[in-house]
Structure 1
Amino acid sequence: MIAKINPSPAQDLPLLARLGAQITARRKVLKVRAQVCAEVAGISRVTLHRIEKGEPTVSIGAYLQVCEALGLHLALLPIVGEKEDINLHDPEMPHIRIKDYPQLKALSWQLKDDEYLTDAEAMSIYERNKRFLDLSHLKEHERVLMQRLIDTRGMEQMLV
């Protein structure tokens, strides 16, 4: 008899929900319709919807196909806190939480507050919607983020 380890669904759901949110954010930043994304990944639109919701019953292969279709690199990283030298600001990894930046949240109203964006995705949102930025209400930490994007990604200087 083979022993089967069943992690509790509560442990899986937050991580898969975050992964699904990041997949959704990437698809929307790229302006790819769900049907097109599903076709490129070789899955049904319903399966893509389930992936974006973070459902644990979808195969890991389907998750990987969608990631590949969207140009995402799925990597295994240590759990935060296990290793002190983790670079939480790797520009290629989604790490900018929308709800932490009021102007970004206002510009990306269609995305969920708890979604995370890469530097490139955040920069794209700021640049595409710069005419809607309210610079008079820009919080200091968001100004720092925008300056970092300018310095590292070449975003336009006029934003900050």
Structure 2
Amino acid sequence: MPASNPSLIQAHADQLAAWGERLRAHRKALRISATAAAEAAGMSRVTWHRIENGEASVTVGAWLAAMSAMGLKWDIEGPQSTPARAPMSSIPLRVRISDYPELQRLAWQVHGTDELSPSEALDIYERNRRHVDEASMAPHERDLLGALRSVLGGRSRDV
């Protein structure tokens, strides 16, 4: 059964709506569909739309996943654009297999596409975890795997 909206004073409801509008504007500025953004955040399109509409029953965890997927950080004022990109703090909407040598080696059975969704990429890494040598991965691929695990909830490896 879906959670019901808690009682809110109008100022709080207006703030949630403003944050949702900020997220929507950022997504549209990046020319990303709501479906692709939701997939990158590991949630349903319906939940994504509920966030963009500022509904109070959406969990803080869902908000944080949405922010991370859009490359935004959260502070006391709500979603904010992040400055220059340090180690990967969000996941790409599509993972180009050829950009990640270890993924390319593990995804030998993937045919007909050059890109994977973030969850598909993480699934390949996790399914083949005993064959993955993270120590020999390029830094950008290690960052990708860490971000995928962080956002989508993968397991850490004990190497």
Q: TM-score, normalized by length of structure 2?
A: 0.43
Higher strand residue share? 2
